[in-house]
Amino acid sequence: MNETVLILDFGAQYNQLIARRVREAQVFCEVVPCDISAEDVRQKHPAAIILSGGPASVFEADAPTMDPAILSLGIPTLGICYGMQLMAYLLHGTVTPAEHREYGRTAMTVVQKTPLFFHVPEVSTVWMSHGDHVLDVPAGFHILAFTPTTHVAAMADPDRNLWAVQYHPEVHHTQSGFRMLQNFLYDIARVPANWKPAAFIPSAVKHIQDAVGGGKALIALSGGVDSAVAAAIAQEAIGSRLTAMLIDNGLMREGEIEEVLTAFPSLDLRVLRRGDIFFRALEGVRDPEAKRKIIGREFIRAFEEGKEDIGSVKVLIQGTVYPDVIESGNQNARTIKSHHNVGGLPKDVGFEIIEPLRWLFKDEVRQVGQALGLPETIVWRQPFPGPGLAVRITGEVTPERAAILRRADAIVRQEIRESGLERSIWQAFAVLLDVQTVGVMGDGRTYGFPVVIRAVESIDGMTADWVRLPYDLLEKIGNRIIGEVPEINRVVYDVTSKPPGTIEWE
Ligand code: XMP
């Protein structure tokens, strides 16, 4: 048996959270599409299976389902929410459509103290979000817990090692939720807690060495932590046979390029200055999606041009991280914005593509970066979108406006860093608006641009809450921006979470 847990993806927004929690429990896990066959599951020899939640109802004609034979493989399995309903449905229990959805916190009472509820209080708060519910458990199952509205809040057939919960143990609102997941992993599935992100470095190094052989590899650096860590691993693997390319699109943060150059003193790093070309292509463009597409296109052009000079390279290394992989594998995901990253290069670049970080989450990437000795300025850098400052400038993106925003943004970042909040905040940045407002400074009237400060906390960027920054910190940031950036005469704070807002403004 290997020590991997498979998470079957039924399209829930919380899927990544399940994977995160399993990793936090120091167990390696992989999210796979729900239509994986029982044979493929068997070949992977997972230590346990988790069936995720999902937005569908088992009664819908095109509801996602699974190969029922997976439930007979004898592998410890935990169904969560939709996963539980599907388990009940496939094993001939009774699932009923709900008259109304149950959403939010509720009190759950445990009626059977199985290993799933070790160290869990008899009555605890759980987080529900479901329409259908299980009325009668399938033959062989017991009811383990109930809530005032849900008769079967948890069920199990310990003989077949099948377990299921109607609520979401992975969300923080479920008191003891992490405990329940740990119980499932350690006590029911008997998976040891020994996965650590840094443990994956040697195999990633070897993978790159095998793929590159005696040849050369290329990596596109963006200044972000992901591509920097991928570069560090690749450098460890093949040393001077790695060439890096950094496309300066004129839309990067202050000091970004210099920091990358300092972080990799011995790397063959080629900086392609393409700011003029990007700005020319963006002239007069105001529509956010159009801007994103133009930037994506120009990146590809710059990359194709740059690679001509590099010669015979067969392998391209990309810093794709696990959330990108999960997202792109999910057919149910809707495009809110067309995400572009430097990794978003065309498929037909004529390289073999290696993504050494494709199994890791962002904080795990940071741990790997630290283990590899990358400087803190790189490792703790907050996520930055591929299109750069362009998605933080409403209206037309010009070199002048990018310069204004860059200065304001540098102040925000510096103050956040000095306040010690940089690591706990997912992203803090400035946004430049294309309206003008009246102000007064000295004895004169001003008519300048407002800047928005945005600071959010998030686990994975999928949902986010605005950060309650201390007032004196906001005041300091505001005063400095107005004092130091003459074009700006007003600073406002964004108090929108995601949803309904997105993190970036465009
Ligand atoms: P939104 O604005 O969609 O952002 O709430 C979620 C997270 O993704 C980042 N982001 C991007 N990253 N290319 C990227 O590599 C993009 O085009 C892009 N757009 C947004 C954003 O900074 C946040 O962390």
Q: pLDDT digit string (tens) for 363-411?
A: 899 999 999 999 998 999 898 998 999 999 999 999 999 999 999 999 9
Query: Which positions ≥6 away from 12 have C-beta within 8 Å?
Result: 18, 52, 53, 54, 55, 80, 81, 82
pLDDT at 258 over 70: yes
Separation of 226 CA from ligand 1 center, angstroms?
13
Listed residues 142, 160, 188: the one ending a domain: 188
Based on the domain organization, do 277 and 165 belong to the same domain? no
Q: Which domain holds residue 101?
A: 4-188
Per-residue pLDDT reduced to its tens digit, 59-72 = 998 999 999 999 99
Q: Compute, in angstroms, the gap from residue 344 CA to the centroid of ligand 1.
A: 13
* Residue to probe by mutation, ligand 1, list 252, 334, 339, 413, most atoms within 8 Å of CB: 339
- Ligand 1: atom nearest CA of 383 is 24
Q: Is 9 part of a structural domain of the chain?
A: yes
Residues 214 and 321 in one domain: yes
Q: Is 21 helix (H, G, I), strand (E, B) or coil?
A: helix
Identify whether residues 98 and 234 lie together within a single domain: no
Atom of ligand 1 nearest to the CA of 504: 2
State mean pLDDT over 23-45. 95
> pLDDT at position 223, please?
82
Among protein residues, the one whose CA lies closest to atom 12 of ligand 1 = 385
Say if 485 falls within a structural domain.
yes
Geometric angle at alpha carbon 331, from 327 and 337, rounded to 5°: 55
- Cα separation, 359 vs 355, in Å, equals 9
Q: What is the rounded average pLDDT of the residues 500-505?
A: 95
The number of the ligand 1 atom at minimal distance from the alpha carbon of 464 is 5
Q: What CATH number corresponds to the domain at position 451?
A: 3.30.300.10
pLDDT of 332: 43
Find the 504 Cα to ligand 1 centroid distance in Å.
7
* Residue 499 within a domain: no
Question: 246 - beta bridge partners?
Answer: 221, 271
- Among 249, 252, 427, 503, which residue has the most ligand 1 atoms within 8 Å of its CB, making it the best to mutate? 503
Residue 434: count of CB within 10 angstroms of its CB: 13
- Does residue 502 lie in a domain region? no
> What tens digit of pLDDT does each residue of 300-346 get?
889 888 888 887 888 999 998 887 776 655 544 444 455 555 445 56
> Do the beta carbons of residue 57 and residue 131 sit within 8 Å?
yes
Quote the CA–CA distance of 227 and 355 in Å, as a whole number. Answer: 10
Residues with CB under 6 A from ligand 1: 337, 339-341, 383, 385-387, 427, 461, 498, 502-504
Q: What was the pLDDT predicted at 347?
A: 61
Is residue 167 one of the residues assigned to a domain?
yes
Does 44 have pLDDT greater than 50? yes
**Is 505 part of any domain?**
no
Q: Whose CA is nearest to atom 7 of ligand 1?
A: 461
Last residue of a domain, one of 188, 218, 246: 188
| SS (HEC) of 301-351 | HHHHHHHHCCCCCCEEECCCCHHHHHHHCCCCCCCCCCCCCCCCCCCCCCC
At residue 321, φ and ψ (nearest 5 deg) are -110, 170
**Other CB atoms within 10 A of residue 455 CB:** 23
Known catalytic residues? 81, 168, 170
Least confident of 31-45, 177-191, 251-265, 307-321: 307-321
From the CA of 503, how far away is ligand 1's center (Å)? 7
Q: What confidence score (pLDDT) does residue 346 get?
A: 60
Query: Could you tell me if residue 506 is inside a domain?
Result: no
pTM here is 0.77
Residue 227 structure tokens:
């591509």
Atom of ligand 1 nearest to the CA of 224: 15
In which residue are the tokens 């074009």 written?
487
What is the C-alpha to C-alpha distance for residues 197 and 360, in angstroms, rounded to an integer?
Answer: 7
CA dist., res. 111 & res. 133, Å (int): 18
- Per-residue pLDDT averaged across 44-67, rounded? 94
User: pLDDT value at position 334?
Assistant: 41
Q: Which residues contact 331 (CB under 8 A, 6 or more apart)?
A: none
Does residue 228 share a domain with residue 156? no
Instruction: Say which CATH number the domain at 275 has.
Output: 3.40.50.620
Number of domains in the chain: 3
Sheet holding 77-80, edge to edge: 28-33, 4-9, 48-51, 77-80, 162-165, 154-157, 142-146, 102-110, 123-130
Which whole number is the average pLDDT over 240-268?
Answer: 94
In the DSSP assignment, the letter for residue 245 is: E
As a whole number of angstroms, the distance between CA 342 and CA 227 comes to 9
For the CA of 458, the nearest atom of ligand 1: 24
State both tokens at 88.
């009940």
Same domain, 348 and 487: no
Q: Write the burial class of residue 438 (CB in 10 Å: 0-12 exposed, 13-18 middle, 19+ buried).
A: exposed
Nearest in space to 295 (alpha carbons), one of 227, 347, 342: 342
118-to-106, 178, 181, 188 alpha-carbon distances in Å: 20, 12, 11, 11
Q: Which amino acid is at 150?
A: T
Could you tell me if 217 and 181 lie in one domain? no
Q: Find the mean pLDDT for residues 244-251.
A: 96
The length of the chain in residues reads 506
pLDDT band at residue 440, thresholds of 50, 70 and 90? very high
Tell me the CA distances in angstroms from 83 to 15, 56, 87, 102, 115, one per residue in order.
Answer: 11, 10, 6, 16, 20
pLDDT of residue 239: 95
Q: How far is it, in rounded angstroms, from Cα 205 to Cα 285?
A: 43
298 Cα to the center of ligand 1, angstroms:
18
Residues 154, 227 within the same domain: no
Kindly state whether residues 10 and 98 are assigned to the same domain.
Answer: yes
pLDDT band at 1 (very low <50, low <70, confident <90, very high): low
Domain contains 421: yes
Query: Cβ of 30: how many Cβ atoms within 10 Å?
Result: 16
Residues 60 and 180 placed together within one structural domain of the fold: yes
Residue 361 banded pLDDT, cuts 50, 70, 90: confident
- Take atom 14 of ligand 1 and give the residue whose Cα is closest: 385
Question: Is residue 390 within 8 Å of 251, Cβ to Cβ?
Answer: yes
Nearest protein CA to atom 20 of ligand 1, as residue = 385
Q: Three-state DSSP class for 121?
A: coil
CA 227/CA 321 separation, integer angstroms: 9
pLDDT digits (tens, 9 = 90+) for 113-159: 899 999 999 999 999 988 899 999 999 999 999 999 899 999 999 99
Q: Which of 157, 188, 219 is the last residue of a domain?
A: 188
| Residue 427 DSSP class | E
Q: Are strands 94-96 and 77-80 parallel, antiparallel or unpaired?
A: unpaired
Q: Which residue has the higher pLDDT, 437 or 97?
A: 437
Domain check: are 89 and 213 in the same one? Answer: no
pLDDT at 74: 96
Residues 341 and 201 in one domain: yes
d(CA 391, CA 401): 12
Q: Are residues 17 and 145 in the same domain?
A: yes
| C-alpha 384 to ligand 1 mean position (Å) | 7
